[in-house]
């Protein structure tokens, strides 16, 4: 039986994806943009099987999975099969699969573990359709999106964007690369104040976005921020990238906090880190920006020149109980055939 392995890593959004126009198909309400990281990574092994099975290990320890975890993978397989049949594939996949995940990414703390999982899954899955025709990366990103919206961006290395599209066609949202990982060697020093898993996951959160009175205004602002951010990346203009991405991150948290029920992902420690970085930046003129996804974890994106100071700062937080991940821009999901 054919067995495939794929590895993938999280990405950190600079313009955030929050809210869908179609939750079932994960068709986003707006474009988003991110940087793919080089670690922590996970490996997913996929084998043809008569019956679906899923086993997952976190740092070598077997995880207890809920029935809905399994359903999410099966849903992705079903949507992917439908999508490929629409593209003209006669028999894209075998009847079912057995999956094993070996991960080093703590889940549900704002570190995009689901982006890495579903990017690796999409990569591995796509190889089963290869005998009829190899999928393009954009098509693989559609498969990844069926599992997790942000996963579409982790298919690509460097900087990637999600094109939201506007129709209800299942293929209308896909990702593409803006610049590869050699273009601008930025770092992401990640400070996780806590490993407590968040109570409301992104999937449930996206479904609440429309309940915020601020959501419509946010959607209006995204095209401008996307343009400015893309421009900043292409010109390696750190200051511009910092302004756009911080504006967007705080704006997303404003939508979250004004949703019903209100979603509060930022903790006192998150606010403390942001304030300390702002202070450090104003005295030392450092090229560092902060951003926060759906969790208390703070991502400090910085240039080579600013990295030593940010590492020293992160060490001081580590001594106070935070977990630190030292990452940099990475290459995106890859498959290993056997």
- Footprint on this chain of ligand DP6 (rule: CB under 6 A): 13, 16-18, 26, 32, 112, 114-115, 148-150, 202-203, 206, 293-294
279, burial (CB in 10 Å: exposed 0-12, middle 13-18, buried 19+): exposed
CB of 281 to ligand DP6, least distance (A): 23
297-322 burial by CB neighbour count: b if 16+ within 10 A, else e? bbbbbbbeebbeebeebbeebeeeeb
Nearer to ligand DP6, 20 or 335 (CB): 20
CB of 315 to ligand DP6, least distance (A): 26
State the minimum distance, in angstroms, from the CB of residue 311 to ligand DP6.
24
Question: Diameter of the chain by CA atoms?
Answer: 62
Q: How far is CA 142 from CA 11, 157, 187, 200, in A?
A: 16, 16, 27, 25
Beta carbon nearer to ligand DP6, 202 or 242: 202
Q: Which is nearer to ligand DP6, 50 or 197 (CB)?
A: 197
Beta carbon of residue 22, minimum distance to ligand DP6 (angstroms, whole number): 12
Within 10 angstroms of residue 268's Cβ, the number of other Cβ atoms is 9
> Which CB atom, from 160 or from 302, has the smaller least distance to ligand DP6?
160
Q: Compute the least distance from the CB of residue 81 to ligand DP6, in Å.
A: 19
Residue closer to ligand DP6, measured from CB, 92 or 295: 295
Q: Identify which of 35, 31, 30 has the alpha carbon closest to the alpha carbon of residue 14.
A: 35
Please, which residue, 31 or 181, has the CB nearer to ligand DP6?
31
- Report, in Å, the least distance between residue 134 CB and ligand DP6: 25
Name the nearest CA neighbour of 139 among 126, 158, 128.
126
Report the candidate in 70, 54, 72 with the shortest Cα–Cα distance to residue 204.
72
Pairing between strand 53-58 and 96-103?
parallel
């Amino acid at each position: 039986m054919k067995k495939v392995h794929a590895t993938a890593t999280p990405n950190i959004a600079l313009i955030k994806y929050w809210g869908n126009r179609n939750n079932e198909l994960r068709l986003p309400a707006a474009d988003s943009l991110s940087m793919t990281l080089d670690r922590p990574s996970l490996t997913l092994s996929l084998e043809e099987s008569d019956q679906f099975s899923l086993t997952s290990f976190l740092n070598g320890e077997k995880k207890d999975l809920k029935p809905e975890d399994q359903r999410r993978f099966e849903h992705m397989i079903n949507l992917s099969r439908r999508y490929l049949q629409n593209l003209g594939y006669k028999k894209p996949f075998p009847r079912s699969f057995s999956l094993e995940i070996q991960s080093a990414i703590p889940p549900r703390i704002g570190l995009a573990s689901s982006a890495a999982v579903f990017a690796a899954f999409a990569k591995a899955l796509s190889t089963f359709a290869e005998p009829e025709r190899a999928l393009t990366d954009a098509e693989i990103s559609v498969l990844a999106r069926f599992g997790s919206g942000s996963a579409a961006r982790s298919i690509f290395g460097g900087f990637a964007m999600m094109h939201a599209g506007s129709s209800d066609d299942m293929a209308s949202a896909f990702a593409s690369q803006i610049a590869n990982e050699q273009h601008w060697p930025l770092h992401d020093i990640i400070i996780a104040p806590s490993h407590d898993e968040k109570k409301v996951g992104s999937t449930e959160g996206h479904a609440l976005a429309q309940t915020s009175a601020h959501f419509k205004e946010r959607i209006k602002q995204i095209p401008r921020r996307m343009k400015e951010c893309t421009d900043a990346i292409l010109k390696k203009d750190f200051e511009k990238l910092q302004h756009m991405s911080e504006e967007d991150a705080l704006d997303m948290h404003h939508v979250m906090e004004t949703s019903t029920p209100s979603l509060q992902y930022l903790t006192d420690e998150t606010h403390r880190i942001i304030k300390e970085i702002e202070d450090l930046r104003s005295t030392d003129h450092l090229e560092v920006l902060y951003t926060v996804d759906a969790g208390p974890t703070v991502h400090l994106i910085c240039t080579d020149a600013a990295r030593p100071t940010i590492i020293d700062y992160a060490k001081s937080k580590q001594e106070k109980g935070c977990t630190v991940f030292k990452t940099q821009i990475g290459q995106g999901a890859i498959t290993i055939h056997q």
